[in-house]
């Protein structure tokens, strides 16, 4: 017995956007990105003689959305720690911090940790004084593939006003954070040099920096395990 898998859209006229035939296992890792939306995943059994099951062996609804919803605001400033909400199925996170000035030239990705473990990151004390914005996305590595979640829709903004923490915690390193306005802003946009920019494609943000990691959004492994 082998299996044929089909992913099709819902609403209106269903359209098949992903399919695989002749699968021999009981799970399958999607290798093509799915945009935000709702889908129907159907699996049909097929014998070696070509006979197929009269009805799908399994049919589930799959909803792809923004991974993890809104990320949490960073923790209180004196420990120089940025924190974010956990995303189910993520193996690690990709954190980018942009420097906006004014004490030296603006710089995209002045700090980047593409393999951040857990849900927090202490920023180095070597960062210059000034204004910053931070982005975070989830990453999952499985079966030799790397899947990327979407970047946060609005960056976290903060300012570093002191590099040396003082005895009074309230006067130590000051990370004053505020959410950006409601209009989406993408990493590398606005007043920064845009050699390391990002673009929007059907609600999914993908890097187009020098390493050009055009990668699909992450699919929750609990969904894949059910197929």
**Strand ranges in 10-124 using DSSP code E only, listed in sequence order:** 16-23, 37-46, 58-64, 81-83, 92-101, 107-116, 120-122
Q: Answer yes or no: is pLDDT of 226 > 50.
A: no
Out of 46-50, 66-70, 149-153, 167-171, the most confident range is: 46-50
Ordered by start, the domain boundaries in the chain are 2-64, 77-207
Question: Residue 8 is inside which H or E element, if any?
Answer: strand 2-9
pLDDT for 59-108, tens place per residue?
A: 776 655 544 434 444 443 556 778 888 887 788 899 999 999 988 899 98
Alpha-carbon torsion (85, 194, 215, 59), positive or negative = positive
Q: Is 176 helix (H, G, I), strand (E, B) or coil?
A: coil
Cα–Cα–Cα angle for 186, 194, 189, nearest 5°? Answer: 25
Closest by alpha carbon to 155, among 212, 216, 219, 198?
198
- 2 CB contacts (<8 Å, ≥6 apart)? 21, 22, 23, 24, 45, 46, 48
Helices (H), the chain: 221-225
Predicted TM-score (pTM) of this structure: 0.49
Is pLDDT at 111 greater than 80 in this prediction?
Answer: yes
| Mean pLDDT confidence for 144-172 | 65
């Amino acid at each position: 017995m082998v299996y044929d898998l089909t992913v099709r859209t819902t609403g209106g006229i269903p359209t098949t956007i992903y399919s695989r035939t002749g699968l021999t296992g009981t799970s399958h890792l999607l290798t093509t990105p799915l945009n935000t939306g709702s889908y129907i995943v159907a699996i049909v059994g097929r014998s070696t003689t070509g006979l197929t099951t009269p009805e799908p062996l399994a049919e589930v609804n799959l909803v792809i959305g923004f991974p993890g919803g809104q990320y949490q605001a960073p923790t209180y400033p004196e420990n120089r720690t940025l924190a974010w909400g956990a995303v189910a199925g993520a193996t690690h996170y990709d954190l980018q911090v942009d420097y906006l000035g004014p004490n030296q030239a603006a710089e995209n990705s002045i700090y980047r940790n593409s393999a951040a473990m857990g849900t927090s990151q202490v920023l180095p004390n070597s960062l210059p004084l000034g204004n910053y914005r931070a982005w975070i996305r989830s990453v999952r590595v499985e079966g030799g593939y790397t899947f990327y979640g979407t970047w946060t829709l609005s960056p976290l903004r903060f300012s570093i006003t002191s590099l040396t923490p003082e005895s009074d915690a309230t006067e130590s390193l000051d990370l004053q954070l505020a959410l950006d306005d409601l209009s989406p802003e993408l990493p590398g946009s606005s007043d920064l040099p845009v050699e390391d920019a990002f673009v929007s494609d059907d609600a999914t943000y993908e890097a187009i920096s020098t390493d050009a990691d055009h990668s699909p959004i992450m699919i929750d492994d609990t969904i894949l395990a059910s197929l």
